[in-house]
Structure 1
């Protein structure tokens, strides 16, 4: 892990017809951000400079050919391409998808080779990124292939943390996709992340039911009784503090979620709707369980306001801070587990 210098924070630009570049540049328009990390944008000088001019932002860049040439204290741009693709704000174009993939692949390659320490990804359009060599429903699935580990889509906002058993699949396929082994894998990945990435020694995890009212004792589906409950019991008896299944409709409104360090939702909207309602645009999408740290803002391309200078950078800024904090937490966790004497010293001090 890193010992000297600032954390090198890579940024993939996402769909350049959306607000990704805007929120990234606005984040680092605040010079105090440079005290926390060294940003490295994977795109091209021409494109980033043009968007800076369009948005009337007072920024200066350091153009480089490779992430190994990064300069601390500056916004670095790795020139991934030389050509000048056409930017059409608010439009979902094939060209924008093509360059979103180029930026992402270059950033992930730098991450794998330790030229950057963490990665923050700007929003992509899941339709126009589809290509012969890129058939993934989103960042998470691509990163799971490229980086070692068991991935978990983990939405984070302060003490609110919601992970997903299934993410980008159709609702009609959810029940059959949830198997005992999937539950074990996701719970164990979440527990490990809570300990290693968030510094929680004995995390408490809640599972939300698959069916309305968690099946109501089999009246509204048997999956909760036959699949979820036995695995929850098995994991609990093995020492994992996991509870449920809880009826999703009342779980958040009754504030039950505040009793847990994290919640595992059965499917995408079951977890994302309450998360985005409660996080007020400051949430972060974290891909837990991988050997490297990747975060992103919790919003999409926002085509409707792209190029107008109206985008709020709050979530992107939180994604930057979260990536830095998780990276540091991992380093501390690793140091404590390598040095038992230091671990005992920390326990006595606490």
Structure 2
């Protein structure tokens, strides 16, 4: 990427009956955001103009047929569909789910072709988006299939980063899913993303236990003793700064997380409950390990407040900024690894 080029930031619109469109439009109603990127929303100008009036906003849209036609300094909209859409805020609707998928599909295709640099996804309804083309528990699994790589749900703020060994897995299946191979893969993914996406040269990672009190030496389940501890020791013997397993119930309350660059939790709620408690409204969901950069806000569709002009845009705005920062860091890392003499300040 050339220094004078604006980052093309693609946005999938999410579920139109939720708050996604509100937080997207409110974010770019602030014209200062156009100094940081060129937004390209994959949706339809008619529906966005309707929603703009709904939220009493003043931004203007530049309708385009292809991301390559995007204009810097404008809020660009790729018209993914032409027909009218009936919105009923707060309602689950499979037809609206279809439009959410069409937006995501078009944005992902553009990302794969390098027509956009970063993808920020507005929240979907995981039930209504299901179809023959989308049979996934969420964005992460779909994007992993489309983009390749060892994907990992990575919840991030400036001061706290939490990854998951397992994400959308039923609690009863957690212990059987966590294997030494999975642990190593996820930790490697976190190490790589901390290095190339967050400029941390020697990452220090904490691993939370699977069972209460990390199993209490086998008294409360044997998975921590037989699976987690040997794998962590194996990695540390290789020189990796990986520590644990730590008892999850006290780890965050004692602020132990501040001693590490990242924390890896065994399952969804073990990691996301403390993360959202400490960071809700400021956190960002980053899909680490993919070949491209994708971020999203740390919340869902919030049907209960949809259409009421009450949604908080902070997490979505943070997702935009983090996406831009990660993209720049990744480009810098690529340049340094391809031209190692630059790291030493030598001319080449």
Q: TM-score range by the shorter chain?
A: over 0.9
Matched with 2:33 is 33
Q: Deviations over 1:84-109 (max 9, x none)?
A: 12111000111111110000000000
Listed as ranges, the gaps of 5+ residues in structure 2 are none
**Aligned residue-pair number:** 346
1:71 lines up with 2:44 in the alignment: no
Matched with 2:14 is 14
Give the secondary structure class of the aligned counterpart of 2:198: coil
Give the secondary structure class of the aligned counterpart of 1:295: strand
Q: Deviations over 1:324-349 (max 9, x none)?
A: 00000001111111122211239xxx
1:284 lines up with 2:291 in the alignment: no
Listed as ranges, the gaps of 5+ residues in structure 1 are none
TM-score for both structures, normalised by structure 1: 0.98
1:204 lines up with 2:204 in the alignment: yes
Matched with 1:50 is 50
* C-alpha separation in 1, matches of 2:139 and 2:272: 16
Tell me how large the CA RMSD over aligned residues is.
0.9
Q: Deviations over 1:137-166 (max 9, x none)?
A: 000000000002110000001120000000
* C-alpha separation in 2, matches of 1:186 and 1:133: 27
What pairs up with 1:137-148 in 2 under 5 angstroms?
137-148=137-148
Moved more, 137-146 or 2-11: 2-11
Matched with 1:232 is 232
Q: Could you say if the C-alpha distance between residues 112 and 26 of structure 1 is closer, same or farther in structure 2, counting changes exceeding 3 Å? A: same
Q: Could you tell me how far 1:173 is from its partner in structure 2?
A: 0.5
* C-alpha separation in 2, matches of 1:280 and 1:268: 16
Q: Deviations over 1:284-304 (max 9, x none)?
A: 000000110000000100101
What pairs up with 1:78-227 in 2 under 5 angstroms?
78-227=78-227
* C-alpha separation in 2, matches of 1:239 and 1:336: 23
Matched with 2:259 is 259
* C-alpha separation in 2, matches of 1:45 and 1:255: 46
Q: Could you tell me how far 1:3 is from its partner in structure 2?
A: 4.3
